[in-house]
Structure 1
Amino acid sequence: MSTPRSAEPEGSKTRLYNPYQDLQVPIKNLYNLPTSPEYLFHEEALKPHRSWGENLQFYTGSGYLGGAIAGGAKGTLDGIRSAEPGDTLKLRVNRVLNSGGQMGRRLGNSLGVVGLIFAGLESGLLHWRGTDDMLNSVAAGLGTGALFKAAAGPRSAAIAGAIGGIAAVAAVAGKQAMKRYVPI
C-alpha cells in the first residue's frame, strides 16, 4: 500500500491514517470546484462586462439600498433632533420611526431612479459605440443628471448634468486609482 508523501510526517517512520486514501471514487470530482466562472458559450467568457440586465439590476438596486440607508439615517437624526421637552417616549419613538422611514423612502426612490437612468444610458452607449471604455460612463453620468432634473427646467438640467459628469469622472478616476494602488 503506497502512501502519499504529504501524509508522512518528516523524519518519521509512521504515516498519518487516511481512510479515504485508496478510494478512487468518481464522487471525489464533485469537490474539485472550478476557480473561475463557467460559461455555457465561449463567447460569453470573452465579454469583460455585465449584461444590460445585470447592469440595470446592479445600479438600480445599489442606488435604492444606499439611498434608503442614508435617508433612513438622516431621517432618524432629524426625528431625534425634533423631539420636544413634553413628549412621551412613545411619541418620540413614533416621530423618529416616521421621519426615518419617510426620508429613507424618498432618498431610496430618487437614487434608484438615478441608477436606472445611468444603467440604461451606459448600456445603450455600450451597444451604440461597441466599446466599453470610460467615455461611456462619463457620458452616461452627464445624461443621467440632465434627464433626472429635466422637468425642473433647462438650467437645472444643465447644472445637474455637469454634476453627474463630474461625479462619473470622479468614480472612473477612483476606480482606476483603486486598480493601480490597492492590491486586491
Structure 2
Amino acid sequence: MAKPSSDHDSDPNIRLYNPYQNYDVPINAPYLYKLPTSPEFLFTEESLHQRRSWGENLTFYTGSAYLAGSISGAAVGFYSAMKNFEQGDTLKLKINRILNSSGQSGRAWGNRIGVIGLIYAGIESGVVAATDRDDEWSSVAAGLGTGALYRAARGVRSAAVAGALGGIAAGAVVAGKQAFRRYMPI
C-alpha cells in the first residue's frame, strides 16, 4: 500500500502508523495513529528511573495485598467450614456453611492485609521521595516502618517486634526478587 501524501508527511515529529498494513483489511483511513517521534522522557535521567508513580504504587500494593489476603482468608474459611461440618448436614447446608465462612474470613483478611499494603506503599513512596533513591534499603525501611506503624497502638514492644518482622519480610522479598532475576532470566 502506498503511503498517501498529507500535511503530516513533512512534519518530522509525527510518525504515521497503521496496525493493519500487513493484512487485507479494508479501512477508510490509510493511517490510524499518529505516533510521536520524540523521546518519552525529557531528560535522560528520567529514563533511567523505571519506577511507578506514587499513585500507581499505592494502587498496586493495596490491590495486590487485598487480593492475596482475600484468597488466603477464603482458604482459611474453607478449611474452618470443612472442619465444622456436623453429622446431619445436607449438601445445601454444607455449601452455605462453606460460602459464609469463606466470605467472612476472606473479607476480614483482605481488609487487614490491604491496609498493610496501603501503609507500605505510602511509606515506601515517602522514603523514596525523601532520599531520592529507589533501592533495596528503601524497601526494607518501608517494611520496618509499616510493621511498626501497623502495631503501634498495641505498645512500643509490639511495634518494635512488628517493625523488625516487617523489615525482615521486605528484605526477604527483595532478596528473592533479585535471586529470581539472576537465576530466571526472562
Question: Normalising to structure 2: TM-score of the pair?
Answer: 0.78
Q: Counterpart in 1 of 2:42?
A: 42
| 1:74 to partner: Cα distance | 1.3
Q: Is the 8 A contact 1:39 1:45 kept in 2?
A: no
The answer as to 2:41 corresponding to 1:24 is no
Question: Normalising to structure 1: TM-score of the pair?
Answer: 0.79
Displaced runs of 4 or more, over 4 A: 38-41
| 1:88 to partner: Cα distance | 2.1
Using the alignment, how far apart are the partners of 2:83 and 2:18 within structure 1?
57
1:78-133 per-residue CA deviation (whole Å, 9 max, x = no partner) reads: 11111010222222111111110011001100110000000000000000001111
Q: Counterpart in 2 of 1:102?
A: 104
Q: Secondary structure at the match of 1:42?
A: coil
The code of the aligned residue for 2:89 comes to: D
| 1:174 to partner: Cα distance | 0.7
Paired residues in the alignment total: 157
Q: Counterpart in 1 of 2:7?
A: none
The code of the aligned residue for 1:24 comes to: A
The unaligned stretches of length 5 or more in structure 2 are: 5-15, 22-32
Q: Counterpart in 1 of 2:76?
A: 74
Using the alignment, how far apart are the partners of 1:164 and 1:90 within structure 2?
42
The unaligned stretches of length 5 or more in structure 1 are: 1-22
Instruction: Pick the structure with greater CA Rg.
Output: 1
Using the alignment, how far apart are the partners of 1:166 and 1:49 within structure 2?
23
Q: Secondary structure at the match of 2:17?
A: helix
| Higher share in strand | 2
The answer as to 2:128 corresponding to 1:126 is yes
Give the alignment partner of residue 157 of structure 1, picking from 159, 180, 183. Answer: 159
| 1:41 to partner: Cα distance | 4.3
Q: Secondary structure at the match of 1:69?
A: helix
| 1:25 to partner: Cα distance | 3.7
| Higher share in helix | 1
